[in-house]
Structure 1
Amino acid sequence: MAESESGHKSLMHKSLLNSDALYQYILETSVYPREHKAMKELREITAKHPMNRMATSPDQGQFLGMLLKLMNAKNTMEIGVFTGYSLLATALALPQDGKILAMDVDRENYDLGLPVIEKAGVTHKIDFREGPALPVLDEMIKDSKNHGTFDFVFVDADKVNYWNYHNRLIELVKVGGLIGYDNTLWNGSVVAPPDAPMLKYIRDNRDSVLEFNKAISADQRFEICQLAIADGITLCRRIS
């Protein structure tokens, strides 16, 4: 293939990834027609929340559900719940005896989505705990029975603590298990010039995301894969 042709295809691929029309096509063709009615209801409720930008996107919810089924996951954890869209996606994907330890500092947002989760019949899988996750993780690590027991962990919480979560979760996730870190592209700011105009919450957390991405890429205890889904998700498979 000629260099000019290769370069043209590369540019076309990049433009497709940034296309709002293409994303809408994915949603309307592959996501919305298969979205569970409870997921749709919770998504529509969350869209009215003033902080709806914190919600997991529907394509990411679909991805997580399939990933968990492929893994045959049963014991999972979620750090950062918001109204529970990703939590519901996980609960629906797990078998009847599956479990999710879910933690968030704000129960009010979780309570907003709870009626939908109850209606979906999956609350028996969820152990929700209000408050910071780090103290809970520290307590769990003290008991060796918890070591290596989690199949999957999804982290979508305070970015400044991502590395702190990571260094605890390695004790709790099993070898071969996965940790998924959300927002690792951070609204595209990871490639923006430092002086580029940004919303305050993006600028305030940009350095934390950049530092985490650099650290996780060097962590030889994990295989990693960073995906351009929603705001970026990095999957980390524990190998040692």
Structure 2
Amino acid sequence: MDSFDPRKKSPPTILQSKELHNYILETSVYPREPAALKEIREATAGHSHAFFSAAPDVGQLIAMMLKLVNAKKTIEIGVFTGYSLLATALNIPEDGEIIAIDPNRENFEIGAPIMEKAGVMKKIKFIESQALPILDKLLEDKSNEESFDFVFVDADKYNYYNYHQRVIKLVKVGGLLMYDNTLLGGAVVAPEAKVEDFRRLHWHGIIEFNKAVATDDRVELCHIPSGDGTIICRRLR
């Protein structure tokens, strides 16, 4: 077998292939997926926008990140039916708290009975709203600054940097910020002319966010092809 020469143009990565992603799910994720998460995933499968849900491997990543920083107080921006929300709730202490923000309660109600059955609803404060006004309200109270351990963002992509500028003040030094869909189905490497009209606003948002956060010296980051792309930031100052 020929050795790989990094000086040559890289071949298309198989990390984004459906086959390899399914291999990861079947081998490493589904065997360890809690029953409640499997139930919420299956309850979401028939939804017309099921692809909005966080990928199961991202849920597994969330669980590990929460444990690494001993997270107790968290924020979730973009809830949908609650897969990532439940992953968070299962992995913070009994007295932990999640402020979960989403303008669509109807989707949240799909997963709510499963979260109730799992015994984690007491940890969740669901707020039916656009996120920016809620984040601004949180910042009005100075005691909220640097008080959160973890933030997960999976909402409207064109607002990602607006969210980042706010949650960076809310998360404590050493705390983590996770952003989902940062590869946008591979569209981040497509020329703008090839991006579908319905996706273009989100495309611009993700492109600008990825560039901006890469140069933000308030954080260190890791950009990985988990799910549809995930950026993990640790606040430095």
Query: TM class by shorter-chain length?
Result: over 0.9
1:228 is the counterpart of 2:236: no
Aligned-partner residue type, residue 81 of structure 1 = V
Q: Hey, what's the Cα distance between the residues in 1 that align with 2:159 and 2:169?
A: 16
C-alpha distance in structure 1 between counterparts of 2:92 and 2:60, whole Å? 13
**C-alpha spacing 1:138/1:12, structure 2 compared with 1 (3 Å):** closer
2:157 equivalent in structure 1: 159
Aligned to 2:201: 204
Measure how far apart 1:194 and its partner are.
2.1
2:63 maps to 1:65: yes
Deviation at 1:193, TM superposition (A): 2.0
1:204 is displaced (CA, Å) by: 3.1
Q: CA deviation at 1:201?
A: 3.2
Question: Percent identity at matched positions?
Answer: 53
1:101 to 99, 102, 108: 99
Q: Distance in 2 between matches of 1:187 and 1:19?
A: 11
Higher RCO, 1 or 2 (CA under 8 Å, sep at least 6)? 2
- Which whole-Å deviations, capped at 9, do the CAs of 1:87-117 have from their partners, x for residues lacking one? 0000001111111000001100001110111
- Alignment check: 8 A CA contact 1:78 1:102 kept: yes
Q: Is the 8 A contact 2:73 2:149 kept in 1?
A: yes
Partner secondary structure for residue 152 of structure 2: strand
Judging changes above 3 Å, is the alpha-carbon distance between structure 1 residues 195 and 112 closer, same or farther for their aligned structure 2 residues?
same
The alignment's TM-score, normalised by the length of structure 2, stands at 0.94
Q: How far apart, in 1, do the equivalents of 2:191 and 2:10 lie?
A: 23
SS of the residue aligned with 1:100?
strand
Structure 2 alignment gaps of length 5 or more = none
Residues 78-97 of structure 1 aligned to structure 2 (within 5 Å)? 78-97=76-95
Counterparts of 1:36 and 1:100, CA distance in 2: 19
* Residue 213 (structure 2) aligns with: 216
Q: 1: distance between equivalents of 2:132 and 2:16? A: 36
Aligned length: 236
Distance (whole Å) between structure 2 residues aligned to residue 199 and residue 52 of structure 1: 20
Shifted more, 99-108 versus 24-33: the winner is 24-33
Decide whether the 8 Å contact of 1:186 with 1:202 is kept in 2. no
**Which segments of 5 or more consecutive residues in structure 1 lack a partner in the other structure?**
none
Per-residue displacement from partner, 1:108-128 (whole Å, max 9, x unpaired)?
A: 000111011101110011010
CA drift at 1:12? 8.8
1:142–1:230 distance in 2 versus 1, CA, 3 Å: same
Partner of 1:16: 14
- Matched to 1:52, the amino acid is A
What's the offset of the Cα at 1:75?
Answer: 0.5
Asked if the contact 2:158/2:203 (under 8 Å) is kept, the reply is no
Tell me the distance in 2 between the aligned counterparts of 1:98 and 1:148. Answer: 16
How big is the shift at 1:223? 0.7
Shift of 1:5: 1.7
Q: Does the 8 Å contact 1:64/1:89 carry over to 2? A: yes
Question: Are 1:38 and 2:36 matched, yes or no?
Answer: yes
